[in-house]
């Protein structure tokens, strides 16, 4: 792996996490990561005893776990997510943190400490009554190279800035450990441009991951971070850690944030959603049931935005919907239908990986394989972030459209291409 860009997805889950595919195993993760175009994955769920036992069968080298095969092997970095539920400043807090570990030995120390606090064998993403500050402090004590990244920071229920149990700034959440937070994760419902509005995030790396609950390519790698691997360099945990901490990686893959399940405000059961402006007109009350709306990411970002925010560490990013979504939209049928898969496999057979198709393959070459002009145009529009999406809300994904949404807005996509 020399002289290349490393497409990485660190926030995934195993079959031992709730609401995740029972077919998630190492073989399926490797197979579909390669199809997607990812060349580095997080392991996810290293706190779960059974999953960790499987991970120990991989070869460990410089903080990277290697699945060995005749294709040159596939690398994993030790990652996991923890759910912290506790009371702070007389308010109930619910925060998910993604964290990376430099070795199996470090993971075993983490797990030993967690065992003194509660159980971790019932779920790949266990719940603990530990504050964000105390968790970070203990990780630093165990190993200075453990990296803690607040996960999907804007989602209402478990984001560090979420409307339901979050904070207004990182100092409130981490106290004297604030300086040990080097990066945040955008989550599906936000993108870097939205986070650039937040003064508290100046000089913070903005990374992206899928939070995939399955290995299918419309989930795995739908968001990713692109790292550098210069000629002659060897992939290692320290190389990745350095780029996160120094904000020196290349950029990220994002979905249109309107696609996310919590972008707009609303009530899923009432089939009602609205923009932040409309929410303010309604005083935050659902017009159908009279109860408070679930306040989404777009509203919360604007609530914490500062006019003087100046994020000098801005990275280029690419706003993309997964290829299955595009084929499904062009055909007007379900994302997991046989017809969608038939076209998907044909494209992969000709152009190797999904990221290559989404980012690089020319219109001329696509025309040689595809008969659908609609699909070709969707791939081209997707490449420059021009596919409109009706925003998701209250746990419901947004819906991609052939035309324009009633809620069309500027997403802030940068248009540089590989």
Residue 170 is part of a domain; what is its CATH number? 3.20.20.140
Q: Are residues 225 and 123 in the same domain?
A: yes
Q: Are residues 85 and 163 in the same domain?
A: yes
How far apart are the C-alpha atoms of 316 and 253, rounded to whole Å? 9
Q: Are residues 235 and 142 in the same domain?
A: yes
Q: Assign 5 to helix, strand or coil.
A: strand
Q: Are residues 137 and 227 in the same domain?
A: yes
What pLDDT shows up at residue 239? 98
How far apart are the C-alpha atoms of 95 and 83, rounded to whole Å? 6
DSSP string, 158-178: T-TT-TTT--SSHHHHHGGGG
Buried b (16+ CB within 10 A) or exposed e, 336-361: eeeebeebbeebbeebebbbebbbeb
Q: Are residues 229 and 372 in the same domain?
A: no
What pLDDT shows up at residue 38? 98
pLDDT means over runs of 10, the chain (418 residues)? 80 98 98 98 98 98 97 98 96 97 98 98 98 98 98 97 96 98 98 96 96 98 97 96 97 97 97 97 97 98 93 90 98 97 98 98 98 97 96 97 59 28
Cβ burial of 212 (10 Å; 0-12, 13-18, 19+) is: buried
Identify whether 87 is part of a domain: yes
Identify whether 356 is part of a domain: yes
Instruction: Report the first-to-last Cα separation within the chain, whole angstroms.
Output: 18
C-alpha distances (whole Å) from 207 to each of 42, 149, 185, 204, 413 are 13, 9, 5, 9, 15
Q: Are residues 100 and 190 in the same domain?
A: yes
Which pair of tokens denotes residue 88? Answer: 């702070």
How far apart are the C-alpha atoms of 196 and 276, rounded to whole Å? 18
How far apart are the C-alpha atoms of 147 and 136, rounded to whole Å? 9
Identify whether 316 is part of a domain: no
Q: Are residues 334 and 254 in the same domain?
A: no
Q: Are residues 253 and 327 in the same domain?
A: no
Q: Assign 94 to helix, strand or coil.
A: strand
Beta strands 74-88 and 40-42 are: parallel
CB proximity list for 207: less than 8 A, separation 6 or greater: 10, 149, 183, 184, 185, 186, 225, 244, 249, 252
Identify whether 60 is part of a domain: yes
CB proximity list for 29: less than 8 A, separation 6 or greater: 12, 41, 215, 220
Identify whether 405 is part of a domain: no
Contact call for residues 210 and 220 (beta carbons, < 8 A): yes
What pLDDT shows up at residue 405? 53
Q: Are residues 232 and 358 in the same domain?
A: no
Q: Are residues 234 and 99 in the same domain?
A: yes
Identify whether 286 is part of a domain: no
How far apart are the C-alpha atoms of 128 and 126, rounded to whole Å? 7
Q: What are phi and psi of 59, to 5 degrees?
A: -85, 125
Identify whether 398 is part of a domain: no
Q: Are residues 331 and 239 in the same domain?
A: no
What pLDDT shows up at residue 404? 66
Q: What are phi and psi of 91, to 5 degrees?
A: -135, 140
CA-derived radius of gyration, the chain: 21
What pLDDT shows up at residue 4? 86
- Nearest 10 degrees: CA dihedral of 396, 399, 404, 406? -20
Q: Considering 227, 258, 289, which residue would you say is the last residue of a domain?
A: 258
pTM of the model: 0.94
The CA-based angle 192-193-198, given to 5 degrees, is: 90
What pLDDT shows up at residue 418? 23
Q: Are residues 178 and 60 in the same domain?
A: yes
Tell me how many domains the chain contains. 2
How far apart are the C-alpha atoms of 231 and 10, rounded to whole Å? 23
Domain span at residue 72 reads 4-258
Q: Considering 258, 282, 306, which residue would you say is the last residue of a domain?
A: 258
Q: Assign 295 to helix, strand or coil.
A: coil
Which pair of tokens denotes residue 276? Answer: 């932040």
Identify whether 280 is part of a domain: no
């Amino acid at each position: 792996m020399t002289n290349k860009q490393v497409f990485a997805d660190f926030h995934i889950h195993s079959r031992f996490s709730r609401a995740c595919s029972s077919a998630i195993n190492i073989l399926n993760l490797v197979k579909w990561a390669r199809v997607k175009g990812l060349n580095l994955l997080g392991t996810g769920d290293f706190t779960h005893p059974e999953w960790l036992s499987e991970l120990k069968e991989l070869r460990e080298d410089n903080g990277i776990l290697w699945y060995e095969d005749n294709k040159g092997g596939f690398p994993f970095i030790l990652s996991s997510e923890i759910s912290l539920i506790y009371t702070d400043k007389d308010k109930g807090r619910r925060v998910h943190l993604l964290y990376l570990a430099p070795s199996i030995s470090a993971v075993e120390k983490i797990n030993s400490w967690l065992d003194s606090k509660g159980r971790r064998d019932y779920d790949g993403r266990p719940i603990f009554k530990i504050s964000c500050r105390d968790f970070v402090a203990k990780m630093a004590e165990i190993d200075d190279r453990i990296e803690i990244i607040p996960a999907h920071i804007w989602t209402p229920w478990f984001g560090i800035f979420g409307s339901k149990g979050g904070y207004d700034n990182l100092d409130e959440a981490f106290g004297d450990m604030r300086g040990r937070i080097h990066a945040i994760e955008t989550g599906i419902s936000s993108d870097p441009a939205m986070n650039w509005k937040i003064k508290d995030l100046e000089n913070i790396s903005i990374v992206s991951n899928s939070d995939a609950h399955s290995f299918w390519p419309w989930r795995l790698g739908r968001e990713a971070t692109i790292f550098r691997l210069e000629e002659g360099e060897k992939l290692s945990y320290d190389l990745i850690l350095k780029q996160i901490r120094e904000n020196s990686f290349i950029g990220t893959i994002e979905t249109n944030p309107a696609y996310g399940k919590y972008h707009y405000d609303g009530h899923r059961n009432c089939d009602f959603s609205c923009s932040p402006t409309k929410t303010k007109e309604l005083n935050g009350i659902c017009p159908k049931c009279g109860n408070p709306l679930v306040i989404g990411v777009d509203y919360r970002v604007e609530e914490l935005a500062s006019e003087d925010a100046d994020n000098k560490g801005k990275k280029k990013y690419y706003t993309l919907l997964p290829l299955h979504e595009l084929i499904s939209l062009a055909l007007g049928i379900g994302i997991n239908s046989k017809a969608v898969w038939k076209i998907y496999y044909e494209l992969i057979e000709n152009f190797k990986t999904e990221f290559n198709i989404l980012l690089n393959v020319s219109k001329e070459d696509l025309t040689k394989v595809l008969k659908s002009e609609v699909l070709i145009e969707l791939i081209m529009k997707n490449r420059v972030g021009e596919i409109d999406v009706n925003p998701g809300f209250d746990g419901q994904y947004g819906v991609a459209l052939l035309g324009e949404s009633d809620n069309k807005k500027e997403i802030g996509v940068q248009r540089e291409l590989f």
